[in-house]
Amino acid sequence: MLHSNRRPAAHLLEAEGLSVRLPGDARPILEGLDLRLEPAAVAGVCGRSGAGKTTLLGALCGLVPWLRPAELRGELRLDGESLSGVDPGQRAHLIGTCLDRPDAQLFLPTVAHELAAARRLHGGDALQRAAEALGVERLTARRITELSSGQRQRVALVAALAASPRPVLLDEPTAHLDADGVSALFELLAEAARRGASFLINEQAGWRLGPAAGRWLRLGDGRLSSCETPRPPVFARPGWRPGGPVLSASGLAVERNGVSLLSDLELELRTGEVVLLSGPNGAGKSTLARVLAGFQRPVAGALRREGRGALMLPSAELQLFAGTVAAEVASPASPPAETARVLRRHRLEHLAARAPWTLSRGERQRLVHAALDLRRPPFMIVDEPAQGLDPEDLEAFVELVHRRAAKGRAYLVISHRPELAGAVHRHLRIVDRRLEEVPA
């Protein structure tokens, strides 16, 4: 049995015959899975949303079945020693982990406290390099609750990368990162691998990591198989012409926790228009979304809305309240047949009886979009819709957006994913607290 004392290096991570069955499932989500993560290796894992990628990382770091009930069989070993009976707290000394939800692993009040805790757990050399590369050093005085989702992801990544050269597990590490953050992560992975570190990375947008991952594995039918580096989907620009304004902002000023983010902002979203909004981590994209949707007051300026729009938050679990997936999209105004059509349209019909909290990240994203879509709002503000979506689901999302927009609904899509620029009428970017239009 492994002990939690620090070791110079814990390189080889293995899974043999790993099977995981979640409560209520007829068949295992992982079945007879084998994995060997060698020293100095960076391996990426892709697969359809709901295939079990997060469950795999959870089993390796001990969250499954210690915190998420499941029947687990097979053998997990670190440097040839069994991990059976080693709880998540003990494994945290031996394996670094960054969860798919950074909020779920940031518990302390400030960034400085989180970094100090990671330093006590793993030491400071790797942590210092990661903090400098990801720009976290300038955030040390900030409270975690004041950070944007991208900034929180940077902090969580720094804490996880501090574990190298021990194995590090990363779940959707680029989901909230801007282009600079992805580039910094790429360099950190390459440098750490040269020093003997190993990484297992769940990533739906594998192309964002470039050649950082030396090999790719696809998870399907409970097992891993070798595959090529995932490629980004290619989208066609909408062909219809937008109509009159449905959402207008003039002279808008926005702040968060007393810090000015945007000023003198002019924005018009028209009927049937699809607009992409991007910008650096911490620039104020999500705060602007809440202001435009009416959930937060602007500091100054005027807003005009034609009807009541809908806002899809970057954290899907904050918008899921019902006991089952079917109940989440059902409403007294819609017959059961309509609920069934919505579930089928969003690839959720086989999950109808499941509790929303048991779904994968991509499944939760699809569920929230399905519930909001059923309301038929005149405009939708969708914040980071691509997180957790595999390329096929992202294509389906864009196809649905185009169908709805062609019938008059307007969309403001907030994302760091550059491939979405090909799917919209206009691309706006926050630069120096103002909006700039990006040439097509």
| Residue owning tokens 């009807």 | 307
Contact in structure between 248 and 306 (CB atoms under 8 Å) = no
Say whether 261 sits in a helix, a strand or coil: strand
- In the chain, the domains with their CATH numbers are 13-227 (3.40.50.300), 245-438 (3.40.50.300)
Q: What is the pLDDT of residues 163-206, one digit of tens each?
A: 999 999 999 999 999 999 999 999 999 999 999 999 999 999 99
Segment 336-343 shows an average pLDDT of 88
Question: Which of 233, 232, 231, 193 minimizes the C-alpha distance to 213?
Answer: 193
pLDDT given for residue 9 in this prediction:
52
Please state the pTM of the whole predicted model.
0.91
Query: Which residues, in sequence order, are bridge partners of residue 262?
Result: 254
Question: Which of 94, 115, 125, 81 minimizes the C-alpha distance to 5?
Answer: 94
Contact in structure between 78 and 13 (CB atoms under 8 Å) = yes
For 134, other C-beta atoms within 10 Å of its C-beta total: 24
- In this predicted structure, the answer to whether residue 158 has a pLDDT above a threshold of 90 is yes
Pairing of strands 379-383, 300-305: unpaired
Between helix 149-161 and helix 179-194 the angle, nearest 10°, is 0
Contact in structure between 215 and 44 (CB atoms under 8 Å) = yes
pLDDT given for residue 1 in this prediction:
38
pLDDT given for residue 277 in this prediction:
98
